[in-house]
Structure 1
Amino acid sequence: MAKRGAAQQLQTEVKTDEELEKFLARPGLLILEVYSEWCGPCLGVLGTLRRIKLEIGGENLHLAICRADTITALKRFYKRSEPTWLFATGGKAVSIFYGSDAPKLVAVIIRELEKTLQNASRPTYQIGDLQPIEAEVLRIKTEAIKKAERIEHEKQEKKRIDYLNRCTDVIMENLPDIGVTVFGPQVSRDMFKKLSEPAEHLKMQCKDRKYLEVFAKDFEIINYSCKNPLSDDVIDQLDGKELLVCFWKIDEASGPITHVLSTYAHELTKERVAPPDDEINVPHPIAPIISPIKVKFEVEIEDGEVWVEEISSEEEARKLAERKAAEKSKSATHLQDESRPKDQEGAEDDDEEEASEEEEAMQAVQPAFPNMALDIDLGLDDNIVSEEEMVEEEEEPPKPLTRIKRVKIPPIWVANNRRTHAALIYVFFRSQTSGFLPPDPPPEPPHVVMAFEAFKRDDVMEVVEASKEDVPQYGFFTNDTPGEAKLITNSIYKYDKLEEPSSSDRIVLKVNKVQSYTMLSLVQFEPTYCSNNVTSGRMDALKFFPEDYKTDEEIPPDAQKKQKKKKKTQDASGVDESPKLSTETAKSIDIAAGDENTEDSPKALEGEAQTPEVQAGETLITESPTVADPSAVPTEGAPAAGDGTDTQEPPKEEINADLIEAPAVDGAAAATPAAPTDPAPME
């Protein structure tokens, strides 16, 4: 019994911070196998480690399995599916090993044990700190994630540009003589009459105009291929402002669209010359129809930012005049000093010497009692500031440095290429393209990734089948770590055929995060992983489900037969739990299933009670002898011979509603369903 007890102490289980601290206080080389609850420790190498301890290590080698879920210093190993071995001595980590390669692990143990016994100097690390190999792995992983994000961003941007190019190509083809102008916020609704005067001379017709609110995100589409876009500062000032946008039809004889609109903008912004009038007898200049406006605002100065203060011509002239005036006053003062007599200078020097002597005398009198403590109550306690208030005043963050920035907003903006005009139509006048441009495809809803243990697949798939529109994709993976998990299969039927599924297998779902209860229904199955938000959910979904990924929803033939067999068993038992089907659906099921259901068709038996229950998809047939004599009267409830009525009965709903009672025959009550046709007349 003692030997069994000793064997049980070969390995220690550590689950808390206190237990880890106590284990690290042991002497010798410590080997910590770090695991997570969902994965479990590596049992394959356990026998090898115990053998090394008994044969080589002895009391100088201690083994422990540490649960990363509940130990603070080992949180970085949480959710890792790869076996991790941490080597420590003297309370510090000295090395780390990944994987389950037993020969390599044994070699590392022997090497580290020799260094520990020889007290050889080597770098040590805190248990919670990253070792160089971990830092390198983290760097490689971070770079790979950034590269994947950059590639994905470039791919999405290319897709967006390609789509906009297709849309603008269609617009340019169908609206070859249309252009758009965007006016600044200084142009009001009432000014359109003045704006139309130059347009008439250029044979421009305003087909549509809108005074609408414009946002900075609109210019992300407008400027995607523009050669003369508005600056970012101007766009920031226009964000959320109401602007006048005009939709012009231009005569082809006037020239290219961009040239005509540029001429129109020049006519609106140039200074004009008015003819002589009653007040001024000579031609005189007048202000343009619309003018730019200047906006001045403060912006914070970022760290390391270098800028040149922008100075207008008026301010620069004013500062130059002040500088010249200061130089003149300085030169005049210098001339006065030179013209002053030397006697006065000597007198001033004497006065300065006398003043300095008086200050020295005062300083000599003040420290008369340097060691005497003075306790004088001057009644100034109200103005004393407490230490807490002083600390609060000192802790006030300094105000950020700001600088003045000036932006000049043009009164009108005209793009210099036709594609940008098509983009303006696409953004502001989409109603003009309804006849030839299809609506945009609906954007993909925000989604997250949820992973569950594979043995819960039946319960999870039951929810998935009930709301397929909210779970567009799913698959089985080796674990639930995005970017590291490997695909096992994309079908639940294929996974069911696996001979030895692993306990670490996960079923991963891409769940749309919309206003539905799908996520709430899935949470009850305790997911092992769920994306933090829709942003990380989009990245996780791209790692689990690339663009070319397709979920295999095809049902194998053997699975279909199994389902049919189960349904047939239910029919034979007389219990119908399936939903009622229409006649057409029932016929299609009969055709798909063959003639198997014909044997189960109910028959009217003489002297026995026939149940009125009819299974969906089955045909009710009543046998009646052929009547040779026309005067023969048919049995009540049976169809008349030769009346041309079909023997097929309506679905179950109609049959149950039209059931009638037949007269007793030979003392036995036989209830037969009535035919949908009218009974034959009695003779």
Structure 2
Amino acid sequence: MSITSAVANAHAAAAAGAGKKAAQVQLQAELATDDEWNKFLLRDGLLVVDVYTEWCGPCIGMVGNLKKIKVEIGGDNLHLAIAKADTIECLKRFRNRSEPTWMFLAGGQLVNVVFGADAPRLARTIVEELKVEEQVKKGEKERIQRAPHELTPPEQEVASAQEKLLQQRREKEAVAAEEARLTRREKRAVRLETHFMDVCPGLMMPHAQKNLRKISDALEPYGVLVADKCPLVLGKDGARILAMEDPEFGQPEAAAALAERPSLALLLKKMPDKEGNVIELVRRAIFGEGLEAEDEESAKKVVAEELMANGVPGLFVPADRHQRASILDLLFPKMVGALVQPPTPPEPPHLAMVFGAWQRRAILQIAASPKLAPRMLRYGFFTDANIKEPKLLCKTLEKYEERPEKDHSETIVLMVAVGVAEPLLADPKDIPPDGPPDELMTLGPLHVSEDTVVGAEECERFFPPGYSEPEHKPKPKSKKKKKKRQETKDEAEQDGSVDTANDTVDEAEGNGEGSAEGEGEENGDGEAEGEGEGDAEGDEEEDKHVDKATSPPPTST
């Protein structure tokens, strides 16, 4: 433990006279490790600890009041400290909080907790707990038995309320995520049905491939034939997709075989003269769905059961149109891609975080770190913090820096991922933590979406469809250069020869583009002349432009 605060004059020094040097007593101890924390808890008397975090710091404004209380009331029976929650395991529940927190401990037990920088309340609590501690020492009262890491009743109430809100938020987000997933699957199924209405994919496991003839014979009476087949190693990602469609293929033995050994992808097609849904026909032939077994002998003829090995199914066939679309994309991407564009990767659940634009450099530096860069989906600069009707200024830092004047009301908005669109398909280590990044929260955002449902709505207003598409810059055209080309054309015509470049000019003029270009160029020349005349004047005013967004807004006095 190291002494961090100033020293106070002890009562004994004051009574001895002003001529004697005042004794120095420790006001606050600084605790930053578990060892220092445990040693401090062994002290006798009442311990008052200011718990702080790295990014917020201890409550400096209360030092004067604590010094006065210790000298006038507490003496050796009161010990003060500041403790860093980030590095002390017992205090982990106070991490990432900005509210001042005061812990009262005695005899190794937590007797009280006070939140907020309320000096009168803190002083009253210290006086009350000192009296209680004196009564405990005299045997008149028993000390509360509560370990420092346990919650006090008020903390428990707050924690229960927060947990309830968190559970409600998660349920709301789960419902929204499932609805979005079903919408994506339905859209893809409808798109593929245009070209693959009478087609059904299938996948034979490595151990079942010797029974391909049996599959073909079972399908033939139902008007379905094996139109194509090809060996395929799905790999880990493909195995996850199949397991998400049918959990039976997520068994360790099945997943390992799919990821490492070649399976057989089948393309099953309904014959033109056969009526009915191809998926239903295939499942009736392979799994016996929709059939009533007349006797025990007919029940044994179900092909799917014959292909089972050690509880691992031998054949996958989609159960509905959604699964068909997913498996077609998985097994036959080239065939599907030749007719239909690949599906757009879904966006992960995300939040909107709004900051003052004057923080842009610190924000973008943190956002570009290897840990957070994959979570930063989009960003942009806006006129203010209006969430309902945002007005875009520009999309990049470079464009924002080019603005001659900036204002404190301008904001930078980040679209931050707080999960993945398909958790079952992602590696657990690649799934980001729930909630906004702590590194950005330490900068004090002006606004953060309350959940991913609200975040999706807000981000759609900030970053509408097409926001990320590259902007097409018009090519600058010069009137003088065109005159040169026209003169070259005239000379060439006089010589009886016209080159390819002049033919291009003729075509542009023939389509009516020449007149539009000419008008634009005349305006451009006028602007250029105006700029030329005002160059000197602009240089004089350059120093008068103030970048109001490079520092925090002024505080009111």
Compute the TM-score of the two structures, normalised by the length of structure 1: 0.45
Where does 1:384-403 land on structure 2 (aligned, <5 Å)? none
Aligned residue pairs: how many?
407
Is the 1:87–1:94 Cα contact (8 Å) retained in structure 2? yes
Q: Tell me, yes or no, if structure 1 residue 112 matches structure 2 residue 8.
A: no
Counterpart Cα distance in 2 of 1:454 and 1:152? 30
Cα deviation per residue 1:477-505 (whole Å; 9 max; x = unaligned)?
Answer: xxxxxxxxxxxx99999996279xxxxxx
In 2, Cα distance between equivalents of 1:289 and 1:90: 73
| Cα distance in 2 between the residues matched to 1:419 and 1:251 | 23
SS at the partner of 1:117?
Answer: helix
2:258 is matched with which residue: 239, 245, 257? 239
- Aligned-residue Cα RMSD (Å) equals 5.9
CA distance in 1, matches of 2:417, 2:269: 46
The reply on whether 1:438 has 2:455 as its aligned counterpart is no
Tell me if 1:599 matches 2:551: no
1:177 partnered with 2:73: no
Corresponding residue for 2:113? 96
Q: Following TM superposition, by how much is the alpha carbon of 1:195 offset from its aligned partner in structure 2, in angstroms?
A: 5.7
| Residue 217 of structure 1 pairs with residue 233 of structure 2 | no
CA contact (8 A) 2:350 2:417 kept: yes
Residues 208, 307 of structure 2: 8 Å contact kept: no
Deviation at 1:164, TM superposition (A): 0.9
Rounded Cα–Cα distance in structure 1 between residues aligned with 2:65 and 2:112? 19
- From 136, 139, 157, the counterpart of 2:178: 157
Percent of residue pairs bearing the same amino acid type: 26
When Rg is computed on C-alpha atoms for both structures, the one with the higher figure is 1
Equivalent of 1:29 in 39, 46, 55: 46
Contact kept in structure 2, 1:168 and 1:426, CA below 8 Å: no
Given the superposition, is the C-alpha separation of residues 417 and 103 from structure 1 closer, same or farther in structure 2, using an over 3 Å criterion? same
Correspondence 1:508-527 to 2 at 5 A: none
Rounded to whole Å, the distance in 1 between the matches of 2:95 and 2:217 is 73
Letter of the 2:55 counterpart: W
* CA–CA separation in structure 2 for the residues paired with 1:201 and 1:24: 82
Change (3 A) 1:252 1:150: farther
TM alignment of 1:462-473, pairs within 5 A: 471-473=376-378
C-alpha distance after superposition, 1:20-40 (max 9, x if no partner): 667556554332222234322
Matched, 1:427 2:330: yes
* Residues 244, 453 of structure 1: alpha-carbon distance in 2 compared, 3 angstrom cutoff: closer
The answer (yes or no) to whether the contact 2:226–2:267 under 8 Å persists in 1 is: yes
Query: How many Å apart are 1:87 and its aligned residue?
Result: 1.1
Matches within 5 A, 1:497-516: 497=408
Tell me which amino acid in the other structure corresponds to 1:239. L
1:636-675 alpha-carbon deviations (Å, 9 max, x no partner):
xxxxxxxxxxxxxxxxxxxxxxxxxxxxxxxxxxxxxxxx
The answer on whether the counterparts of 1:29 and 1:60 sit within 8 Å (CA) in structure 2 is yes
SS in 2 for 1:209: strand
- Is the partner of 2:58 in helix, strand or coil? coil
- Distance, in Å, in 1 between the alignment partners of 2:365 and 2:96 is 27
Distance 1:237 1:26 in 2: 58
Q: 1:519 — aligned with what?
A: none
1:295 aligned onto 2:309: yes
2:118 alignment partner AA: D
1: CA distance between counterparts of 2:328 and 2:334?
A: 9
Change in CA separation of 1:112 and 1:593 when aligned onto 2, cut-off 3 Å: farther
1:118 aligns to what SS in structure 2?
helix
Q: Distance in 1 between matches of 2:526 and 2:246?
A: 58
Flag the 1:458–1:585 CA change in 2: closer, same or farther, 3 A: farther
2:58 aligned with 1:41: yes
Distance 1:153 1:457 in 2: 33
Cα deviation, residue 474, structure 1: 6.0
Shift of 1:262: 4.8
Which structure 1 segments of 5+ residues have no match? 271-286, 297-406, 477-488, 500-505, 513-531, 555-580, 603-683
C-alpha displacement at 1:85, in angstroms? Answer: 0.7
| Partner Cα distance (2:89, 2:352) in 1 | 26
Q: Give the conservation status (yes or no) of the 8 Å contact 2:349–2:456.
A: no
Contact 2:188 2:343 in 1 (8 A): no
Any gaps of 5 or more consecutive residues in structure 2? Answer: 1-8, 292-300, 382-390, 419-427, 442-447, 450-454, 464-473, 480-519, 537-557
Deviation at 1:60, TM superposition (A): 4.1
My pick for the range that moved more, 112-121 or 589-598, is: 589-598
Please give the alpha-carbon distance, in whole angstroms, between the structure 2 residues aligned to 1:465 and 1:80: 24
Amino acid at match of 1:248: K
**1:353-364 map, 5 Å:** none
Q: 1:594 Cα shift?
A: 7.1
Superposed displacement of residue 416, structure 1: 5.5
Contact 1:254 1:260 in 2 (8 A): no
Q: Distance in 1 between matches of 2:415 and 2:324?
A: 43
- Between the aligned partners of 1:29 and 1:15, the Cα distance in structure 2 is 16
TM-superposed CA distance for 1:168, in Å, is 1.0
The alpha-carbon distance between structure 1 residues 591 and 422, as it changes in their structure 2 partners (threshold 3 A), is same
If each structure's helix is expressed as a fraction of its own residues, which one has the higher value?
2
Which has the larger displacement, 545-554 or 205-214?
545-554
Q: Report the Cα distance in structure 2 between the residues aligned to 1:453 and 1:254, rounded to whole angstroms.
A: 64
Q: Do the aligned partners of 1:14 and 1:64 also contact (CA within 8 Å) in 2?
A: yes
Letter in 2 for 1:536: P
Which structure 2 residues correspond to residues 213-292 of structure 1 after superposition, within 5 A? 213-214=233-234, 215-220=238-243, 222-223=245-246, 239-240=258-259, 241=261, 242-258=263-279, 260-262=281-283, 264-265=285-286, 292=306
Q: Deviations over 1:29-83 (max 9, x none)?
A: 3322222343222234444444544555455444333344565654554443111
Q: Secondary structure at the match of 2:233?
A: strand
CA distance in 2, matches of 1:474, 1:88: 46
Query: Which residues in structure 2 correspond to 1:475-554 (within 5 Å)?
Result: 497=408, 534-537=430-433, 539-540=435-436, 546-550=455-459
- Structure-2 change in CA distance of 1:22 and 1:432 (3 Å): closer
| Counterpart for residue 445 of structure 2 | none
Q: TM-score with structure 2 length normalisation? A: 0.54
